[in-house]
Amino acid sequence: MTSSKQRQLPMVLIVGGGLGGLMLGAFLEKAKIPYYIFERAAKVKPLGSAMALGSTVFPMFEQLGILEEFYKFSLPTKRIVLRNGKMETLATVKMEDEEAILFARPDLYELLLRQVPEDKILLGKKILRVEEEDDKVFIHCSDNSSYEGDILVGADGAYSAVRQSIFKDMKKEGILPKGDLEDLAAGYTAAVGITEPMDPEKYPQLKDKSHCHFETVIGGVSHSWAVYCLGNNQICWGAGIQYKSVEEGKKQIFMNSEWGPEMNEPFLKEFRDKPCPYGGLFGDMIDATPKDLISKIYLEHKMFQTWFHKRSVLLGDACHKMLPAAGQGAANAFHDAVILANCLYDLKDSSQASITTSFRSYYDQRYHHAKAGYDLSQLSSKIMGGSTWTDRLVRTVIFKYLPRSIQQKQFEKTNSYKPQAMFLPMAPKRGTGYVMPQQPSARYTEEQLEAGRAEVV
């Protein structure tokens, strides 16, 4: 038997310094597996607005020792109020404990960034080319630098350079599934931001520090907008336009491919005179936000069949781009990270055969859960922001005719999946709900046995 002390650890190259890449780095740091994170941006600039996460990620946060700090900048959501353009209430969604915790994305990003040593993150590294040779993988960057590793992880988003490299090789070999070549489906264009601290006297919702006041407006044929307040008197907001068809979505993305801060205003102009659920106009939220911190996002979606090939593997949006509703995108990227870390921890060696077995285990453990998250994000987007007649029909059926007990069973099923790092002490079970069992770590078991024998001696 190969002891853990003799085990050769792989060098892991992670492309993408977003939430998923940082989470994987944090767990590899705990596992003492060597790695580097390559981020194309020359400077870390956390963007985004409010995000939601549920209890499925809290055990891994607890293992990393960041759960309490996460709670300090987040608030639970007790209910979500849906309104029409006249500010009339369409529905009120009551939330169970820990179904949704709201926070500002930049706060979580900064927290995860602190879990990774500064020298492990290399900035300004745009990947131009990937190649494999002599049982190694190489990445070549736009600054003429090159790096060598045993494993390449694509955590580089919906238009992943690592995925494109994988698909290029598989297409040459004639083994790429046809569906993986199809474009991502575009659902919305959106702009998001976080205001400077606002006056609680003008916006009384800010005075309530017990929970987040989450209000979203479905206002007309294709427009929707929302506001969410956190405990620091800042207001997170988002505004989106739904595409009537996939073809229209592709056209809009092509027309706006070079979107910068100066291009935001024509889009935001369509929302300036809309009523804000907190009072006043939505334009007040826009004007209270620094222009360079307003970011554009295309809300696209696609579930890829291919997640790995040879020494390269994908994570997060690179293999399953989800709509942001219900917090499924970030949650599933974190789930990917912890399961992939488990599989890399159990690697016997850096041979292609061992790596393929590891990647296959990762895929088998994650794909069906990610597909369930993808489906939930689709449904939640229809409910919370969809404006087509089919979206309105789905919303009516769920809010008026679907028993709460059936909805609760779905919540319980979703929340029963709480993956953890199997090479760290397990976070204790919280609450009374069922928790799905996980595949144990063969290496961790081996190490515990070795430690036990050493103590006896």
pLDDT in tens, 120-129: 999 999 999 9
Q: Determine, yes or no, domain membership for 456.
A: no
Tell me if 427 is assigned to some domain.
yes
62-80 burial, b if ≥16 CB within 10 A, otherwise e?
bbbebeeebeebbbebbeb
Q: Is residue 1 part of a domain?
A: no
200: Cα within 13 Å, side-chain hemisphere = 9
CA distance 320 to 326: 15
- What average pLDDT does the structure give for the chain? 87
455 located within any domain: no
CB environment 363-376: b (16+ within 10 A), e (fewer):
bebbbebbeebbeb
Asked if residues 165 and 312 have their Cβ atoms less than 8 Å apart, the reply is yes
Q: How does residue 298 score in pLDDT terms, banded at 50, 70 and 90?
A: confident
Distance CA 246, CA 204 (A): 40
* pTM of the full structure: 0.90
Q: How many whole angstroms separate alpha carbon 185 and alpha carbon 246?
A: 6
Assign residue 362 the CATH number of its domain: 3.50.50.60
- Res 4 pLDDT > 60: no
Contact by Cβ (8 Å): 385, 242: yes
More reliable by pLDDT, 445 or 301: 301
**Domain annotation covers residue 375:** yes
Lowest-confidence segment of 54-68, 89-103, 245-259 by average pLDDT: 245-259
Please state the domain count of the chain. 1
Tell me whether residue 457 is in a domain: no
Token pair, residue 286, equals: 């826009």
| Residue range 47-62, pLDDT digits in tens | 677 788 988 999 999 9
**Does the residue 337 lie in any domain?**
yes
- Domain hosting 284: range is 7-446
451 is a domain residue:
no
Number of H helices, E strands in the chain: 13, 20
